[in-house]
Amino acid sequence: MTSSPAVDVVVVGAGLSGLSAARNLVALGHSVHVFEANDRVGGRTLNHKLDGANVDLGGTFVGPTQDRILALAQETACAHHPTNTVGESALSWRGRVRRYSGTVPSLGVGSLVDIGRLQFKIDRLANALPQGAPWDGKNAAELDSHTLASWLAAQHASQSSKDLFAIVAKTSWGCEPAEISMLYVLDYIRGCGGIDRMLATKGGAQQEHFPDGTQTISMSMAERLGESISLGSAVRRVEWSDGGVAVSAGSRTVTAKAVIVAVPPAMRSRIDFYPVLPVEHRSLGQRWPQGVLTKVYASYERPFWRDNGLNGQTLSDAGPIFATFDTSPSADGPGILLGFIGADYARSYDRLPPHERRLRALSSFATVFGDDAMHPTAFVDQRWAGEDWIGGGPTAAVPPGALTRYGSWLARPVGPIYWAGTETADRWAGYMDGAVRAGERAARECLVTVENRD
Amino acid sequence: MTSSPAVDVVVVGAGLSGLSAARNLVALGHSVHVFEANDRVGGRTLNHKLDGANVDLGGTFVGPTQDRILALAQETACAHHPTNTVGESALSWRGRVRRYSGTVPSLGVGSLVDIGRLQFKIDRLANALPQGAPWDGKNAAELDSHTLASWLAAQHASQSSKDLFAIVAKTSWGCEPAEISMLYVLDYIRGCGGIDRMLATKGGAQQEHFPDGTQTISMSMAERLGESISLGSAVRRVEWSDGGVAVSAGSRTVTAKAVIVAVPPAMRSRIDFYPVLPVEHRSLGQRWPQGVLTKVYASYERPFWRDNGLNGQTLSDAGPIFATFDTSPSADGPGILLGFIGADYARSYDRLPPHERRLRALSSFATVFGDDAMHPTAFVDQRWAGEDWIGGGPTAAVPPGALTRYGSWLARPVGPIYWAGTETADRWAGYMDGAVRAGERAARECLVTVENRD
């Protein structure tokens, strides 16, 4: 690397995180090249036209304190509007459908007391964790030795509480409570600002969504980067030294002063680094799996459930769909229902042929919204676990023992190699906001390397 | 793949498992080609000369019921002899050194009762698991929702019991109790035939070792395969269809009717399969991490500890070395001490510069064997987590939730792709015996594909 590098920084991955990093570097006058394995930008955001309406097959919602994605949306002129909350929510539980208002489902008093007790305890434990260093928290080792399931069992949680937290695990991390570290759960909740902020629609992370589709934000950033992005270019080799990097995708190699790797941690292992990365980085790559999440949308002439006083939001203890939202563009336009299928439900659903998937998903909708739900004008599903270069969604579902041992390596630079991706954010990790934060942080960090050589 | 394939079967990985598969196929008259990423054969077995004496930097011991590795050793003329058990074992515990005989350490009566209770329970749970299908066992889901640590806590295990099982976890899987699924622990113990069989020297898995070094077994198999092995050839791409495979390492591609992939499960992700593997195989590759284990050897003029009535076997609750063995070739030859450093101890030890590693390891030996242990004639350590194409040792340390969800995919063929490696064995998984069993099983399985085309 004695000759002058081709660009200042190579970015691996053109999701929200990688593009945010690239955009910020360009704004500071640095040159970049972005390699993207897929033939599109946006990563875990993906626009889709469903019978004329825009739906988000990936990241969808934004809410208060998600300042970085909101700022970026404003700068890229992507409007957002409130998720529908007019009407009552529905709870499909133990074979019966009940209605409720607000975020607290209509369970019996005993169940609600138990859930309140656990939420109080979880919020307290989460708030006590030091931001960006949960491994330094009180009882971190013990909390990281538990799965969410074993921790709930140790707290003598009621069956209803266990089932409700299972829905949270499926939606938030694409895993069952048996798969995920309790310390990771707490740190994630801390990063959201508490359970209510994480789970609520009004006042929480589902408060608004983007009528033009969230991928549009990435497309807008990509447009300005123009020729600096290579699609269909999976990076498989990064040669590095203190003097710079040579990043190869297929037969093309681009030299730079630094590289920002903005892919899910589990996908880092697919890149060969020469020399090899420190052992902690390689061990981490074996211990940071992506969750299993599938999203489905059905469109109808109108949001007919609203006539019946329902807001389209559901929680269910029976699969395949265990949570729904109404993402209709307006009250008189087409009605759009969004359903989440996660973890074990998704593992069996994902294997089915298309017509069976459709039937099972619509039957789930019909349980709550009636037989009209069986006859949509259009239907689509997106199985994130099957995405070859993403490895699963919505984010990592980290098992016990990994966060305390490898968490501090997750975003730690190695020579001229920097790390982005929503998993590396210390606020709103796993969300679009975390992706932007992580990209911006990596861009700032790599200036040390980039500007030292100017 | 219309033209005739170059060989019948390509084998990826020239460890004990891959070479056993290749050897068995050749014995049946089939042609093979073996690709090995490292510049040597043997995988997690590795001979080393320490001041003239042979030591095993990887797999070392064999014991009763390990029939397949014993048969292979006989066929390749590799002799084995008893591990020294003459004298008393030592226990370094809570800052004091005590002596004991047999496999039960000299803890107080209360501690021994608690350990006995837990061992009884664990053996009973392990024995009840169906061989090759632990996910079908009673309470499998609940056991797989626990780490070994959270399960011991739920059983109200004493601190001594927890510390003893931590030593077992470090040695057997290269992990702490907080990192590993209880169901995986039980299935592993079942595969060994119980805790005593797994942990004992006399009558157990440490009963004998190989004076010429265990890698010799692989070298002997490799010699007979001759030109059919390519070293320094990391396979990065496998194109496959029902008609066969094209396996590429660097610029070289070999076509075959089938491929046997005999690498640790976590390393499978580094190979690109076209078309991609079923989603379950890809998800599994993110959830099957290798442990972190380091071995050290020191040689002395004589096995001086024997003069003092010690057999060289130690258990310790203080690091870095928490278990030792005497692998001296004879009573009057040089004295050889083997020490195991695992999991968290290894994570910090592995980072130290050589002289500090040596000092810490020898200080551990000296705690039990006296100051003479500080002055060896030679010293060596082997840090398995750092091995680029192996990813860690001694075997996989599978976290909660993975075995019930992905275990049935671990060895399941995909078209002409078959899976070997000790992790895929249903007896003695994680041992040399499991490696041979898995290789032999994969060779048998792929005959369906290979002979259908003859």
Helix (H, G, I), strand (E, B) or coil at B334: coil
User: In chain B, what residues touch A151 (CB-CB under 8 Å)?
Assistant: 150
Q: Average pLDDT for residues B284-309, to the nearest whole number?
A: 97
User: In chain B, what residues touch A185 (CB-CB under 8 Å)?
Assistant: none
Measured on CA atoms in the order B13, B19, B22, B24, is the torsion positive or negative? negative
Residue with tokens 């680029």: B388
Say yes or no for a CB contact (<8 Å) between B178 and A400.
yes
Please state the length of chain A. 454
pLDDT at B453: 53
- With cut-offs at 50, 70 and 90, classify the pLDDT of residue A67: very high
Instruction: Give the separation between CA A199 and CA A197, rounded to whole angstroms.
Output: 6
pLDDT at A50: 95
Instruction: Report the chain A residue with the minimal C-alpha distance to residue B278.
Output: A386
Would you say residue B134 has pLDDT above 70?
A: yes
Q: Average pLDDT for residues A367-395, to the nearest whole number?
A: 97
Average pLDDT of every residue of chain B: 96
Say yes or no for a CB contact (<8 Å) between A146 and B144.
no
Q: How many CB atoms lie within 10 A of CB A444?
A: 14
Q: Average pLDDT for residues B146-175, to the nearest whole number?
A: 97
Q: Average pLDDT for residues A180-190, to the nearest whole number?
A: 98
pLDDT at A352: 98
pTM over 0.90: yes
Q: What is the pLDDT of residues B115-130, one digit of tens each?
A: 999 999 999 999 999 9
User: In chain A, what residues touch B177 (CB-CB under 8 Å)?
Assistant: 145
Q: What is the pLDDT of residues B392-440, one digit of tens each?
A: 999 999 999 999 999 999 999 999 999 999 999 999 999 999 999 999 9
Distances (CA, A) of A339 to A181, A296, A297, B36: 26, 5, 6, 46
Instruction: Give the separation between CA A24 and CA A266, rounded to whole angstroms.
Output: 25
Q: CA of A48, closest CA in chain B: separation in Å?
A: 23
Would you say residue B332 has pLDDT above 70?
A: yes
Preferred mutation among A143, A170, A286, A350 to probe B, highest tally of B CBs within 10 A: A286
Q: At what angle do helices A109-127 and A159-173 cross, to 10 degrees?
A: 50
pLDDT at A105: 81
Segment (H or E) for B318: none
Candidates B318, B310, B311, B313; CA nearest to B92 is: B318
- With cut-offs at 50, 70 and 90, classify the pLDDT of residue B102: confident
Exposure of A356 by Cβ count < 10 A (0-12 exposed, 13-18 middle, 19+ buried)? exposed
Q: How many CB atoms lie within 10 A of CB B77?
A: 10
In degrees and rounded to multiples of 5, residue B353 shows phi and psi of: -70, 160
Q: What is the pLDDT of residues A264-296, one digit of tens each?
A: 999 999 999 999 999 999 999 999 999 999 999
Say yes or no for a CB contact (<8 Å) between B149 and A145.
yes
- With cut-offs at 50, 70 and 90, classify the pLDDT of residue A330: confident
- With cut-offs at 50, 70 and 90, classify the pLDDT of residue A2: very low
Distances (CA, A) of B248 to A400, B34, B170, B253: 36, 11, 36, 4
Tokens of B439: 């290789």
pLDDT at B454: 47
- With cut-offs at 50, 70 and 90, classify the pLDDT of residue A454: very low
Instruction: Give the separation between CA B16 and CA B387, rounded to whole angstroms.
Output: 17
pLDDT at B2: 47
* CA-based end-to-end distance of chain B: 15
Instruction: Give the separation between CA B215 and CA A194, rounded to whole angstroms.
Output: 54
Average pLDDT of every residue of chain A: 96
- With cut-offs at 50, 70 and 90, classify the pLDDT of residue A1: very low
- With cut-offs at 50, 70 and 90, classify the pLDDT of residue B1: very low
Residue with tokens 């269809």: B241
Preferred mutation among B143, B150, B281, B384 to probe A, highest tally of A CBs within 10 A: B150
Instruction: Measure CB to CB from residue B400 to each of A178, A286, A388 and give the nearest one.
Output: A178
Q: What is the pLDDT of residues A71-96, one digit of tens each?
A: 999 999 999 999 999 999 999 999 99
Instruction: Report the chain B residue with the minimal C-alpha distance to residue A149.
Output: B145
Instruction: Report the chain A residue with the minimal C-alpha distance to residue B269.
Output: A270
Say yes or no for a CB contact (<8 Å) between A386 and B279.
yes
- With cut-offs at 50, 70 and 90, classify the pLDDT of residue A3: low
Amino acid A65 reads T
Q: What is the pLDDT of residues B20-60, one digit of tens each?
A: 999 999 999 999 999 999 999 999 999 999 999 999 999 99
Strand-pair category, A378-383 with A335-342: unpaired
